[in-house]
Amino acid sequence: MAVQAYLRRDGEGPTDGIRVGFTTSKKVGNAVIRNRVRRRLRVVADALLAESGKPRHDYVLVGRTAAKDRDFQDLLADLQNALKQIERRAAAREARKRQQPAREQQSAS
């Protein structure tokens, strides 16, 4: 599975809460298989996003072919790891933003 996250800005929908979307492409299989994958992702999201998701965020879970046969505990672990990776990337991005003005001040002196 792939997970995407987006922090809503002011005026872009509800100011609190988490929104979740699910998608699968036709590469995953026919409609029955795609729906099964989306249902499995929905259960995993319900189990984890209430406690691990960030408020004011939109999440999109993209179902892949392997998700149809993957063990449920492994799916839970996959989503948990994806959320941690998203958080690490966001923290690194914020750290770069904080360092950038300091660099600009040093180069201006």
Q: Which residue, 83, 90, 94, is CA-closest to 1?
A: 83
pTM of the entire predicted model: 0.80
pLDDT (tens digit per residue) in 6-58: 988 888 777 778 999 999 999 999 999 999 999 999 999 999 998 888 888 99
Taking the C-alpha atoms of residue 86 and residue 92, their distance in angstroms, rounded to an integer, is: 10
Tokens at 75, concatenated: 């799916």
Phi first, then psi: what are they for 69, rounded to 5°? -110, -5
* Over residues 59-84, mean pLDDT: 94
CA-based R_g, the chain, Å: 18
CA 93 from chain centre, in angstroms, equals 16
| Average pLDDT for the chain | 89
3-state class (DSSP) for residue 108: helix
83: its two tokens: 């959320």
